[in-house]
Amino acid sequence: MKRGIKILVVAVGLVIAGVAVLALTGTPPSELAEILAQGGEKPLRDPMRAARGAPRVLVFALDGVGADELEAVIRSGRARHLAALVGPPAGEPGLYRHAYSAPGVLSILPSTTYAAWTSLFTGEPAGRTGVPGNEWFAREEDRFYAPAPVSVKEHGDALKVYSDQLMGTVTRVPTLYERAGVRSYVSLAALHRGADLVTIPDARALGKVLAGSVEEVADGSISDELYADLDMAGVESLLETIAERGPADLQVVYFPGVDLWTHVAPRPLQDERRYVETVVDSAVGAVLGAYRRRGALEGTHVVIVADHGHTPVLDDDRHSLGGEGADEPPAVLRRAGFRVRPAHLEVDEDEADHQAVLAYQGAFAYVYLADRSGCPGEGSRCDWRRPPRLAEDVLPAVRAFDAANRTGAGVPALRGTLDLIFARAPRPPGQAGPFEVWDGQKLVPIGEYLAAHPRPDLLELESRLRGLAVGPFSHHAGDVLLLAKSSSALPIQDRHYFSGVYHSWHGSPTDQDSRIPLLVALPGGDGRALREQVRRAVGERPSQLDVTRLILALLRTPPH
Ligand SMILES: [Zn+2]
């Protein structure tokens, strides 16, 4: 890679990761000060595939915008480009004059960014993609990955998302762009392997974002400006590419800012809707305008999707279950006799004697356990390629979390924070099986547990957890799975999340976190015909795992 481009892509990784850190701490990651950048697009194929023209697909990928939030924005009339695109409601659920929005579309589990986008843009569940969350432990490599750090604070992997195509390396199944076989551009999305070109904000825009953000944080105010600058700068780069090279047959436009903002916004869901009405709507308008001016809007299906929704939470230490400290989840394992890996992306050789590892996904936490018989003494390194033992390694961890949750045993602050604890009989990597529920005495198959203890709030829990738990990379989800009490049906003071302190989180199997928009519009087209087209391609009840299939079908079908 050319040096200029390399610096640029590192800069973007830093901005996305850095914006989140900066907003919380007021301190930009030190690397930011050193960045000089140029350019805004990075070709991924040489030569690129030739553009063939309609039928085209243009995907707007809105991070963290749940189905109800998008619908409220469209119906508010305050998002004029989105409203004009879909037309007025046409009297039936999900139907608009020029669009169809499929009802009841659920994300994968966890409903967390990196896992969900990877599944959406491959059509495969997390047990097969290899990407089970924002961070995870790959026991076969004894290595921690954190493209979006949650329990850890280092940004090394976030940089590699853009500098080294990290998500392309860790995603173990074909991507949409590899399967589509047409000229594809990706704006800002982390997984872009197989596309012809990726665009990212250019240096001038980055400078503005950084200068503005330092000022803003310094005077203690918090607004969406920083995130809006990031999203708009991303789209500006894309517009330059379209002006120079023409539109691609398949275009994905990713908006990271809306999720980053919702996590920290004072009134998360209202503030999110406002952001979509203003920032996202004008960005969508700018991209549609660029297509229109080139006569490319006709014959372009526009798809609007998201990875997950958001549930407001309280932004204090009591409700955030952190990665370090005497009253946080790792302390439960330490008190139960496990040597726990420090919450860092990398650990020194002399600190690598861990017997337990945690990775956080908001509502879920993954606990990975070693067979401790091979590494009993301090300083001895465990062989993580071997599975743990059920009675000696897994169940002691399960019982310790159960006791802490029921009575506060060992770690009083954790009392009443967990909803369910899952675990499974250990098997070697690649052969892991479904999770079961700990009922206080024993592990019970999920279906059997739910028959006795109905949980209609945990949508399609058994089949969605199966997608995480079964497949060649399902060991990336750990041996024990903790689900925090996180439902929006609970009073906000009873909700908890595995992460540092935020105003809003997600990841759970509940409706609020899981139900996502899947809207297909055709400028000037007919909503009913679109509904038929969507149903023919993916049936009446598609899920997030059907989005890739739907896009491939739209690319093959000439629009009416
Ligand atoms: Zn997200």
Question: Using one digit for the tens of pLDDT, what is the confidence trace for 109-135?
Answer: 999 999 999 999 999 999 999 999 999
Question: Using one digit for the tens of pLDDT, what is the confidence trace for 426-483?
Answer: 999 889 899 999 999 999 999 999 999 999 999 999 999 999 999 999 999 999 999 9
Rounded to whole angstroms, the Cα distance separating 174 from 249 reads 19
Residue 179 has pLDDT above 50, yes or no: yes
Question: Using one digit for the tens of pLDDT, what is the confidence trace for 200-250?
Answer: 987 666 666 666 555 555 555 678 888 999 999 999 999 999 999 999 999
330 within 8 A of 324, measured Cβ to Cβ? yes
Q: How far is CA 163 from CA 5, 91, 156, 376, in A?
A: 9, 48, 10, 39
Q: Is 493 exposed, middle or buried (0-12, 13-18, 19+ CB in 10 A)?
A: exposed
Q: Determine the distance separating the centroid of ligand 1 and the alpha carbon of 258, expressed in angstroms.
A: 9
Q: Determine the distance separating the centroid of ligand 1 and the alpha carbon of 149, expressed in angstroms.
A: 13
Q: Determine the distance separating the centroid of ligand 1 and the alpha carbon of 307, expressed in angstroms.
A: 6
Q: Determine the distance separating the centroid of ligand 1 and the alpha carbon of 188, expressed in angstroms.
A: 13
Q: Determine the distance separating the centroid of ligand 1 and the alpha carbon of 479, expressed in angstroms.
A: 24
Q: Determine the distance separating the centroid of ligand 1 and the alpha carbon of 505, expressed in angstroms.
A: 9
For 388, list phi and psi in degrees, rounded to 5: -75, 175
Tokens (6 digits) for 434: 């479904």
Q: Determine the distance separating the centroid of ligand 1 and the alpha carbon of 468, expressed in angstroms.
A: 17
Q: Determine the distance separating the centroid of ligand 1 and the alpha carbon of 33, expressed in angstroms.
A: 27
Mean pLDDT to the nearest integer, 385-398: 98
Q: Determine the distance separating the centroid of ligand 1 and the alpha carbon of 389, expressed in angstroms.
A: 34
Q: Determine the distance separating the centroid of ligand 1 and the alpha carbon of 133, expressed in angstroms.
A: 10
Q: Determine the distance separating the centroid of ligand 1 and the alpha carbon of 126, expressed in angstroms.
A: 15
Q: How many C-beta atoms lie closer than 10 Å to residue 130's C-beta?
A: 23
Residues 6+ apart with CB under 8 A from 76: 273, 277
Question: Using one digit for the tens of pLDDT, what is the confidence trace for 319-347?
Answer: 999 999 999 999 999 999 999 999 999 99
Q: Determine the distance separating the centroid of ligand 1 and the alpha carbon of 67, expressed in angstroms.
A: 13
498 within 8 A of 484, measured Cβ to Cβ? yes
Q: What per-residue confidence (pLDDT) applies to 522?
A: 97
162 within 8 A of 178, measured Cβ to Cβ? no
Q: Determine the distance separating the centroid of ligand 1 and the alpha carbon of 507, expressed in angstroms.
A: 9
Q: 162 pLDDT band (50/70/90 cuts)?
A: confident
Q: Determine the distance separating the centroid of ligand 1 and the alpha carbon of 111, expressed in angstroms.
A: 8
Q: What per-residue confidence (pLDDT) applies to 217?
A: 54
Q: Determine the distance separating the centroid of ligand 1 and the alpha carbon of 391, expressed in angstroms.
A: 36
Rounded to whole angstroms, the Cα distance separating 399 from 415 reads 14
Judging by DSSP bridges, how do beta strands 480-484 and 300-306 pair with one another? unpaired
Q: Determine the distance separating the centroid of ligand 1 and the alpha carbon of 306, expressed in angstroms.
A: 8
Q: Determine the distance separating the centroid of ligand 1 and the alpha carbon of 443, expressed in angstroms.
A: 31
| Element of type H or E holding 438 | strand 436-438
Residues 6+ apart with CB under 8 A from 219: none
DSSP three-state, residue 379: coil
Q: Determine the distance separating the centroid of ligand 1 and the alpha carbon of 517, expressed in angstroms.
A: 13
Q: What per-residue confidence (pLDDT) applies to 490?
A: 97
The residue whose two tokens read 């098997």 is 427
Using only the alpha carbons of the chain, give its radius of gyration. Answer: 23
Average pLDDT of every residue of the chain? 91
Mean pLDDT to the nearest integer, 494-505: 97
Residues 6+ apart with CB under 8 A from 134: 112, 113, 114, 115, 146, 147, 148, 149, 150, 360, 361, 362
Rounded to whole angstroms, the Cα distance separating 93 from 74 reads 14
Q: What per-residue confidence (pLDDT) applies to 557?
A: 81
Q: Determine the distance separating the centroid of ligand 1 and the alpha carbon of 20, expressed in angstroms.
A: 13
Q: Determine the distance separating the centroid of ligand 1 and the alpha carbon of 405, expressed in angstroms.
A: 28
Q: Determine the distance separating the centroid of ligand 1 and the alpha carbon of 255, expressed in angstroms.
A: 10
**Predicted TM-score of the model (pTM):** 0.93
Q: Determine the distance separating the centroid of ligand 1 and the alpha carbon of 222, expressed in angstroms.
A: 20
Rounded to whole angstroms, the Cα distance separating 138 from 203 reads 35
Q: Determine the distance separating the centroid of ligand 1 and the alpha carbon of 113, expressed in angstroms.
A: 3
Q: Determine the distance separating the centroid of ligand 1 and the alpha carbon of 57, expressed in angstroms.
A: 22
State how far Cα 202 lies from the chain centre: 24
Q: Determine the distance separating the centroid of ligand 1 and the alpha carbon of 385, expressed in angstroms.
A: 31
Q: Determine the distance separating the centroid of ligand 1 and the alpha carbon of 454, expressed in angstroms.
A: 28
